[in-house]
Amino acid sequence: MNRLLVCAAALACCLPATGLAQDLPLPTDIAGWYVRTRAIAGVSHAAGSFATLPPGASGSEQISADPQADFGVGTGLGYRWSAWGVPLRAVLDGSLNFRHDTDVDADFSGGALSYENNLRIWDIRLSLLADVLRRDWGTVYVGGGLGAARLESEVEIEANPLVTENGEWKISPSVEVGLVLDGAFERVIPELSYRFRWFGDTESDTFPDGEKLDYEDVHIHDFMLGFTVPLDPGPNEPRAAATSISSPASVYDWTGLYFGGFGGWASTGKIDVTQLASAEGAFGVPEGIGRFGDDGFFLGGQIGVDRQWRRWVLGIGAEAGFLGLDGSVRPVTSKRGDAASFYETGAYGGVTARFGVAFDRLLIFARGGVAFLDAEARAEGMCDQGACGAATVKASEDDVLFGEQIGGGLEYAFGTHWSAGAEYRFIHLFDDLQPSGITGSGKRVWENLRIDDIHTVRAELNFRW
């Protein structure tokens, strides 16, 4: 909390000693709503330690770099007005930050056991900002905010692998300073900003052996690059700016067909392996244990059609491509450790509808629809305990999984026929995979694998006509 007070004092030094409005060429007649979207590159801190050591451990040590880089995205709705002669901005923002590898080692007489933490932060925040300096090229603002943040901690014992998850809500204060380059473009306004957010302490869930980890003084220094788009003109803007969007001669029209390609990155959390079982009983991987390869390439092509009415754009599209996630996990109950479960995905398809708002050549949209994903699961190796005895296990299934997807992004048209965009998609699959087969001793076995949720980020290029 002391860091927050220091940052607030530093921002206060940016304000004129005789008041905000005096001697500053700030407009006081600007009012209106705007949308703000930002990419976040942060430097975060979390001091990891054991609240309860695992049995037989003599101590612990945080081994990952601290502070550590994290990344995120954010978007929000703001309103700009003037009060007491001071131009003000109120913004309701939502953001997601992801920090990898707050690793802590437990020390044993024979070596160390590594506990790897991935910390994800969902944030909803209301900020009040004041313009303190204006020049021809832009405006400087300072302010603060208060947010509700959900800290989700996922800790894995790398050698097992054994995973626990925990989530809790925190009240989070913040301070912010930024530069709005409102003299750079007519309708899309770039913004550079810095924000400090403090979240306090969080903790992991408890492992089966009783160990539990604490993460103290969690805070982030956010460095953000984004843009704001006014939803309506202020009183000092000409009325033609508000009505020209309906004039085909003066603005871009998004109505028409398009096709193109996309490429990006896909990531998933834990894949649950419920049980490897036979008619005589269960063996292998216990319920809820198992982590597979989290990341992979995501690429393909799409085709669609859009229709524009004034600012509003409605469209439908279809796409097909490749989504590559794969990995394996070994049963923690296997004495030899040579039985394993595998998961691999391949062909992907989807049909979606999107709804957006256009600002001339810039389109901001939300999207939703259905998704199809080809996936294969296998369990194979030597099982040496439980119902299967000392027998070779080989079970597999290849199926097309059905699910839903939602997301959003932005697209910008350049030239007459080309547009480029960036988009986030969240994919949730409804189906499980249940590989089955016969062991070397003649017993039928089966397994249940369920992928968690898939997050994708993509860039795309389209030809429109």
| CATH for 453 | 2.40.160.20
DSSP assigned state of 191: E
Contacts of 248 (CB under 8 A, 6+ apart): none
Q: What is the pLDDT of residue 269?
A: 64
How far the first Cα of the chain sits from its last, in Å, is 55
Q: Which two tokens stand for residue 435?
A: 């590989």
Sign of CA dihedral 318, 415, 461, 247: negative
Residues 249 and 226 both lie in one domain: no
Q: Which domain holds residue 19?
A: 2-237
- Cβ-contact 155, 116 below 8 angstroms: yes
Residues 254 and 165 both lie in one domain: no
Angle in degrees, CA 37, 43, 48, rounded to 5 = 125
Closest CA to 176 of 129, 125, 123: 129
Phi, psi (deg, nearest 5) at residue 246: -90, 0
Residues 324 and 382 both lie in one domain: yes
> CA torsion, points 188, 194, 200, 204, in degrees to nearest 10?
70
Residues 140 and 231 both lie in one domain: yes
Residues 249 and 159 both lie in one domain: no
Helix (H) or strand (E) holding 316: strand 312-323
Contacts of 237 (CB under 8 A, 6+ apart): none
Q: Please, what's the b/e burial string for 367-388 (b: 16 or more CB within 10 A of its CB; e: otherwise)?
A: bebebebbbbbbbbbbbbebbb
Decide which of 178, 204, 237 is a domain's last residue.
Answer: 237
Q: Which two tokens stand for residue 346?
A: 């391949």
Residues 285 and 211 both lie in one domain: no
Residues 112 and 217 both lie in one domain: yes
Residues 217 and 136 both lie in one domain: yes
Residues 274 and 204 both lie in one domain: no
Q: What is the pLDDT of residue 459?
A: 93
Number of independent structural domains in the chain: 2
- Cβ-contact 279, 443 below 8 angstroms: yes
Helix (H) or strand (E) holding 6: helix 2-12
Q: What is the pLDDT of residue 46?
A: 81
Residues 283 and 208 both lie in one domain: no
Q: What is the pLDDT of residue 202?
A: 84
- Cβ-contact 37, 364 below 8 angstroms: yes
Angle in degrees, CA 77, 30, 7, rounded to 5 = 60
Q: Which two tokens stand for residue 395?
A: 């079970």
Phi, psi (deg, nearest 5) at residue 119: -110, 125
Q: What is the pLDDT of residue 129?
A: 95
Enter the pTM of the model: 0.54
From start to end of 181-271, where are the E strands? 189-203, 212-230, 256-268
Residues 202 and 308 both lie in one domain: no
Give 164-169's long-range contacts (Cβ < 8 A, gap of 24+): 164/204, 164/205, 164/206, 164/207, 165/205, 165/270, 166/202, 166/203, 166/204, 166/205, 168/202, 168/203
Decide which of 209, 237, 265 is a domain's last residue.
Answer: 237
Under-70 pLDDT residues of the chain: 1-30, 65-66, 100-101, 110, 158-162, 183-187, 232-250, 269-294, 328-340, 380-393, 434, 436-448, 452
Q: What is the pLDDT of residue 92?
A: 94
Neighbouring-strand partners of residue 21: none
Decide which of 194, 212, 237 is a domain's last residue.
Answer: 237
Q: What is the pLDDT of residue 424?
A: 92
Residues 53 and 198 both lie in one domain: yes
- Cβ-contact 408, 419 below 8 angstroms: no
